[in-house]
Each structure stands twice: as C-alpha cells, then as structure tokens.
Structure 1
Amino acid sequence: MTAGIAYAIPAGVLLATTLIKLAALVRNPRDVFLRSICAVLAVAFLVFATAAPPVLRVINDLSGIPNLAAPLVYCVLTAFSGSSIVLLIYWRDGDTDSTRRSTRLCLGAYGVVVVALWVLFILGDAPVERLRDLDTYYASTPFIREMILLYLLAHTIAAVTMTLLCWRWSRQVRGALRASLLTVAAGSVLAFGYDILKVIAIVARWTGANFDWLSTDAAFAIAAVSAVLTGVGFLIPTVSQGAMSRWRTGRHYHALRPLWTELRPEIPPTSAAPLPWWSSTDLRLLQRERDIHDALLRLAPHCDRTTAQRAYQSALEAGRSPAASCLEADAAVITAAIVAKTRTAPPLAPPDRWTVKSADTAIGLIRLSLVLRHSPLVAQAQQKGPSPRRTKEPSP
C-alpha cells in the first residue's frame, strides 16, 4: 500500500462522515452541536488530507520553504484537538452560558498553541525536507524540537480529556449514545497511543537509539484506526435514530396490510397506483394510510350501527375491555359493510350508520388492522353481513 493510499482511506471515511453530517446541518442550520461535529470531522479529514507525503511535497514546493507543510499539519491537528473538546462540551452540556465560556477558553488556549507552533518553526532551522520522519529527524534541533513536543502535548491533553469525559458520561447513559461514547473513547485511547509512540521514538533519538519505525509506521497505523473509530462514533446516534425510525415505519406499513387488503376493492379507481418497493417507506406508509381513509369514506354509507352494537356486546361478554371491544366493533362493521356493498345493499339512512372512530389516528389504524386479522367476530361479520335489526348504540 503506497503512502498516499494509506492516508486516503481514513481521509475518505472522514470525508464521507462529514458530508453525511453536513446534510443534516443543512436541514438544521441553527443546531450548535451539528455545527461542532461538522467542524471536528472536517478538520479530521484535513489532517489526513494534508499529512499525506505527496501533499506535503506539493505544499513545500509551492511555498519554496522546506518542511513548511510540517507546522501546517501540526496546526490542523491542534485545531482538531481543540474542536474535539469543544464538541464534547456541547454534546454533554448543550448550548448554555457555561458551555460558551468553556468553549472560548478551550479555543483560546489551542489558538495560542497554533501561534506558538509557527513562532517555533520560524525560530528553528529545518533545511532538509522530511516527508515521513520529520519528528525523529529533527528530534534534537532547537526550536523544531520544541515545536514537535508542543503539538504532541496539545494532542495528548485532548486525547486524555476526550477519553475521560466520554468514559464518565457513558456510565450515565444507555443505548446508542453509550455505544457512541465508548467508540469515541476507544478512538481517543488510540490517539493517546499515537502520542506515546511518537514520544518514545523521539526520546530514543535523544539517547542515540533508532526507533523511527514507531513514529513513521506504528503511530500512523494507530492514528488511522483512531480517526475511523472517532468518525464512526460520532455517526452512531444519527445512524441508530435513522435505522430505528425506518424500522418503526416499516413495521407500521406492514401492520396495515390486513386492513389495506380488506379495503383494497373500495380504494377509489382515481387513486395513484401503489408505489414500488424501492420508494421511501415513509411515502409508501402515507399512501397506504390515505388509501385506507379513502376506502372507509366510500364504505361509510354501509357501516351499520346495529352490527357494531352486536360485536361490541359480544366482545364485552368475551372479557374484552371497552376500548378493545370498540376496536372489534369497528373491524366487524368494516367487514360487514364490504359484504353489504358487494351484495349491492342500499345505503343506510344517516341515523343507522356507524362511524369508525378507530381510524382517527395512525395507531388506531394499526390496532384496527391487527384486530381485523385475528378477531373471530370479524369472521362472523363476514359470514353474516350487516344485521337486519337496529339496536342501541354502544357506549364505550
């Protein structure tokens, strides 16, 4: 795997994550938390996009200054460290006066670090271009050495802070948020490991040993995994909420199938054809609910009050609650109305009609559909059709 590709993989993951969050930010432009997470992910992407050796060479060549790309990458990494802490503060505490004060303090501190990095680079002397091993090659060079240690210190503080905050908060929550925090914490632990390996390689240079591979190979591998874990961790709540929403919508859509199938002959011929399976489940559910309501309107003149009373009393005698008995009465009325219309029975007079109140809400439609599938009273109504007699209206 070439160096460019090795950097491109985590950069691509972070870019995709950033674009997903940006889409959410477009829909909620005033969400401070979304703005913070977009900033963190975008800066993390820039870390890997600018740290790739081919990109470093281009920056150095365009500027005409050997190793100018180094402090640029260190500054981007420092910005990532500061923005990560800010994100977690907003995530945990929300947009409050205390949060804004903590944010200003954090950004101010890391801003000072960024300025110091450039000052140290200007004061130092790094004439030999190093694309992969600058940290160890200049480990003993005055001012350049301090620049390297400063960026590692800033990154270490952020990694430790993120780990501790995520771990403590994860013990107070459950579900997707807990999984998200633990994943981000794991990424932060690896980020701390990156700093440790870098420091070991630098100290080794001070003692005359050569552990450069820890800095150039091992540390980079850990940083790549850390970046992916952090990006995934921030995505978990969004993905989980979206998946749960689609799952609930799909369940509701399929739960309405018995009622929709029963009413299908009564759906107006002018209604649109059912949407294909690849369409949005939300749209398909909306269409199914609309078809059911349209069909019920066409059946309304044949919904018999007497049939409802008979089914309601039978359900009560079978031990059902009043609410469950009303559902069974509505289901039986619908079935009997379909039979009556099939037999070309004349419409009922308004006083003899029954209003299917269970269809007033989405959850009522689902319960009605389930009753339609399982209730023995529905089967009886299908066999007998509407009652020829009138009785008193049920009082649920």
Structure 2
Amino acid sequence: MAIFNLIYLSCGIVGLLLLAYKIRALRSSWGSPRVVALISTVFFSAFAVLFAAPANITWINWTSGVPNFAALLVYSLVVCFAGAAFALVIYWRYPATQAWQRVRLIVVSYSTIVAAMVVLFFKSEVGEERQVDFDTYYATQPTIAVFLFIYFVATMVGCGGQAYHCWQGSRDEAISARRWLRLGLRWYCAAALFPMAFAVIKLFVLLMDWAGERSFDVLSTAAPLMASLSMFPLVIAMALPVFGPRRPSPSLWVRRWRTYFALRPLHRALVHVNPGIVLVAPGKFLNPHHRVRRQIIELNDWRWALTPYFDLSVGEAATCLARQASLPTDELAAVVEAAQLRAAGSSDGRARAPERRPASVIVDGTDLAAEHDRWVRISRAYQHSPIVDAAVAGAARVEAAGGMD
C-alpha cells in the first residue's frame, strides 16, 4: 500500500501544481473555450490521480458513508478527463465554430456516460469495500460489468482521440516548422497513451474475467499505476511550448562561447581606454550570452572614445591594400576598422590631438547576430591581418618622417 500511496500522491501533487500554474497563467483568458478545456483536462487528471491513492480512497469512503464510493468518484473523473482531453485537441486542430460542433457531441456523450455510471453503481450490490481490486472482485456482477465496460471504452476512445489528433497535428506543415509546439503535441500524444494503455489492459482483464479466466487479474491491479504516470509527460507537454522557446539551445550556447573567445583579444587590447566600464554581473560569470553582450557594449563604448583619434591616412591605406587583395566588402570594412583602432589605441595615437576626422562611421548593431559577426571580423583582423600591420606601420613611418622634418 505504501508504494501505491507514494506514486499516486506524488503524481497528484504534481498535477495540482500544474493546475495552479495554469490557472494563474491563463486567468486573463478564461472566456476562451480552449482555456476551459485545458484547465478541465488538468483538473480532472490531477484529482483522479490524487483520489486514487489508497489512503484517500479510505477517507472518501468513510466520509461519504458509501462503500466503494471512491471508485465511482475516481472513475467518473477519469472519464471526464478523457472527454476534456479529447475536446481540447479538437479545439487545437479546428476553428472554434467548427470545433464546437464536435465538442458538443463529446460533452453530451461523456456527460451521459458519467450519468449512466452513477445509476449503474447505485443499482449494484457493492457493500464490501475493495480499495485495490474493485474491478476484478465485482467484474461478474452484471451492473458493475456494464459500469466497468463503458468506463474503459470511454477512456480508451477519449485518450485514443487525443493521441491521434496530437500526432496528426504535430505533422501538419504549419506546426512542424515550430519546433517546440511540435514537440509539445508529441508529448501530449505520449501522455494520452498511458491512460489508453490502462483502459486496454483493464478491458482485456474484464473480458477474461467474464470468460472465467482469473490469471490476468494481477494486470488489473498494476494498470492504474501506469495511468498515473501520464502526469509527467502531461507536465512536459504543457511546459515545452511555453518555456522551450525561452531556453537557449546548446548549439547557441557553444556559439556564444566561441564568439566570446574570438572577441577576447581585441577586448583586452582596448581595455585600457576605459577599464572602469568592464562589468560581469553577479552570477553571470559562466553565462556566455551575458559575457558577449557586455563585450559588445564595452567595445562599442571604447570605439566611440577612440573615434576622435582615428587617422584618415590609416583608413585610406588599409582601404587601398584591402582592395588590392580583393577582400569582400564586410572583410574590407573590418580591416579598415581594425587598423583605425590599432592606430588610435596606441600611446602615440592617444597623445596626438584629435585634428583628423574619423575615417569611417560606426555601425549600430541593430541586428544582434550581425553585430557579433562584425566585431568578430574586426577582432580577427586586429590580431592577424597583414593589411592592418602594413597600414599602421606605414602611417607610423610617415608620421616619424614628418616629425624629423
């Protein structure tokens, strides 16, 4: 019993937490039929699993004063869950007006099934309380047999419809292009397969019991544990479309570190311009997105500080050499910028009065990826380009010759 309590209560608590989160997150959209179907799906699944714990079964039966009343309550919640989940995926796949025509049939059908289960239960002789083996113990009682049959079939049809529509929806062209939504639908499909398998196993055992074969009864006892585990893929399915797009991909994380180390030499070469603005926020030391963002901010700030010291002759020399080398436009711009930064960042350049105008105009990084790429090209040219070396050295020779005159 302890293991049953642990599993059911754990899964039920997870469901209640998910329910609380969804109610809070969707409170502004309560008029939407989709939201009602979503909240209903989580509500029925959470309480069905929670009330299925043997400890809660005992309390429900004692409180109600009706032996085995917990079986009626839990089974009704499971049927409602199957209907709500089926209705939810219909709302996802079709426009609201078209979906309501199908959902209305689901609501009427599953409400009728629950009502029939209530009538059949109270028409039955179930005076002996059975916490774990209610199905197999009363399987051959005619009214309970019908009660169980419609319960299993309704659950199987509802969860099967959920699985089918989720899988088909994940293959739609418009959805398959949206990775996290596609994955979310497939996890919804997985969540439906657990209670569906539960219903199939239970129905098989029920048919065997009708045939007088009792050797499969142990499957009936274990099957509900499988159904309760559907709570975990359900949580994943609901979380993926919301949190998945906010989660940086591993490949992007690696690319950001590569960008950081590509910019690091240039960052170190220019830090003397204004070291006071260098900042790493607390707790962000190992966050490559933050580190690269700070590098770009600081490099742009130092670039602006050095702009008055840019030497027109350095820019012209670098441009001429880059064109002779047939460099592409973006590489040419990076070489010219790197040469200007190299010359302006030197001690001689900082000592010189800002008499010359800038050779180029700074480009604002309106596109973050383009800004990263631009600074990486500048950093590499600053370190490795022979054109930058030649342009800066040529300007230094000209200035030295002018100083001797």
TM-score category, normalised to shorter length = 0.7 to 0.9
Question: Quick one: distance in 1 between partners of 2:146 and 2:32?
Answer: 38
Supply the distance in 1 between the matched residues of 2:328 and 2:336 (Cα, whole angstroms): 12
Structure 1 residue 57, shift from structure 2 partner: 0.9
Give the Cα separation in 1 of the matches to 2:270 and 2:13: 50
Which residue in the other structure is 2:201 paired with? 197
Which residue of structure 1 aligns with residue 120 of structure 2? Answer: 120
- In the alignment, which residue of structure 2 is the partner of 1:321? 328
**What's the % identity of the aligned pairs?**
22
Shift of 1:112: 3.3
Q: Do the aligned residues in 2 keep the contact of 1:304 with 1:333 (CA within 8 Å)?
A: yes
1:204-219 counterparts in 2 under 5 A? 204-210=208-214, 211-217=216-222, 219=223
Correspondence 1:364 to 2:365:
no
Q: Is 1:152 matched up with 2:152?
A: yes
Q: CA deviation at 1:364?
A: 3.2
2:304 counterpart of 1:297: yes
CA–CA distance in structure 1, aligned partners of residues 390 and 9 of structure 2: 65
Residue matched to 2:80: 79
1:55 CA displacement: 0.9
Q: Distance in 1 between matches of 2:218 and 2:224?
A: 10
Unaligned regions of 5+ residues in structure 1, if any?
Answer: 391-396
Amino acid corresponding to residue 355 of structure 1 in structure 2: V
Q: Counterparts of 1:266 and 1:293 in 2: how far apart (Å)?
A: 11
In 1, Cα distance between equivalents of 2:133 and 2:225: 14
- The yes-or-no answer on 1:377 pairing with 2:385 is yes
Q: Deviations over 1:134-158 (max 9, x none)?
A: 1222223344333322221211111
In the TM superposition, what is the alpha-carbon distance from 1:51 to its structure 2 partner? 0.8
Change (3 A) 1:324 1:315: same
The corresponding residue for 1:248 is 252
Question: Which 10-residue stretch deviates more, 46-55 or 275-284?
Answer: 275-284
| Alignment TM-score, normalising by the size of structure 2 | 0.78
Shift of 1:216: 0.9
Are 2:344 and 1:337 aligned? yes
Mapped to 2, the partners of 1:208 and 1:24 lie a distance apart of 51
Counterpart-to-counterpart distance in 2, 1:26 and 1:247: 35
Which residue is equivalent to 1:139?
Answer: 139
Once the two structures are TM-superposed, the CA of residue 53 in structure 1 deviates from its matched residue by: 0.9
Shift of 1:231: 3.7
Q: Amino acid of the residue matched to residue 220 of structure 2?
A: S
**Structure-2 change in CA distance of 1:157 and 1:305 (3 Å):** farther
> Secondary structure of the residue that 1:347 maps to in structure 2?
coil
8 A Cα contact 2:194 2:230, kept in partner? yes
Letter in 2 for 1:55: N
**Which residue does the alignment assign to 1:394?**
none
| Offset of residue 233 of structure 1 | 4.1
Which amino acid in structure 2 is aligned with residue 295 of structure 1? W
- Structural RMSD (CA): 3.8
* 8 Å Cα contact 2:335/2:385 also seen in 1: yes
Query: What is the distance in 2 between the residues matched to 1:337 and 1:29?
Result: 61
Q: What is the alpha-carbon distance in structure 1 between the residues aligned to residue 354 and residue 366 of structure 2? A: 22
Alignment of structure 1 residues 1-396 onto 2, 5 Å: 2-14=3-15, 25=26, 37=38, 39-93=40-94, 96-172=96-172, 173=176, 175-210=179-214, 211-217=216-222, 219-238=223-242, 240-244=244-248, 248=252, 251-252=255-256, 255-256=259-260, 258=263, 259-267=266-274, 269=276, 272-277=279-284, 286-339=293-346, 343-349=350-356, 351-357=357-363, 359-375=365-381, 376-377=384-385, 380-381=388-389, 384=392, 387=395
Q: Mind listing any 5+ residue stretches in structure 2 that lack a counterpart? A: 400-405
Corresponding residue pairs, total: 387
| Alpha-carbon distance between aligned partners in 1 of 2:249 and 2:161, rounded to the nearest angstrom | 33
Go from structure 1 to structure 2 and tell me whether the alpha carbon gap of 1:178 and 1:346 turns closer, same or farther (over 3 Å shift). Answer: same
Q: 1:316-356: per-residue Cα shift (whole Å, max 9, x none)?
A: 3333322332233233333333225774232244x445322
Distance 1:367 1:69, change over 3 A: same
Q: Secondary structure at the match of 1:242?
A: coil
Return the TM-score normalized by structure 1. 0.80
Question: What letter corresponds to residue 380 of structure 1 in structure 2?
Answer: V
262-271 vs 119-128, which moves further: 262-271
**Aligned to 1:65, what secondary structure does the other structure show?**
coil
Deviating more after overlay: 201-210 vs 10-19: 10-19
- Per the alignment, do residues 115 and 346 of structure 1 end up closer, same or farther by CA in structure 2, a change over 3 Å counting? farther
Read off the aligned partner of 1:56 and give its amino acid letter: I
Alpha-carbon distance between aligned partners in 1 of 2:28 and 2:258, rounded to the nearest angstrom:
29
Letter of the 1:366 partner, please give it: H
Distance in structure 1 (CA, Å) of the matches to 2:312 and 2:243: 48
Bigger-Rg structure (1/2): 2
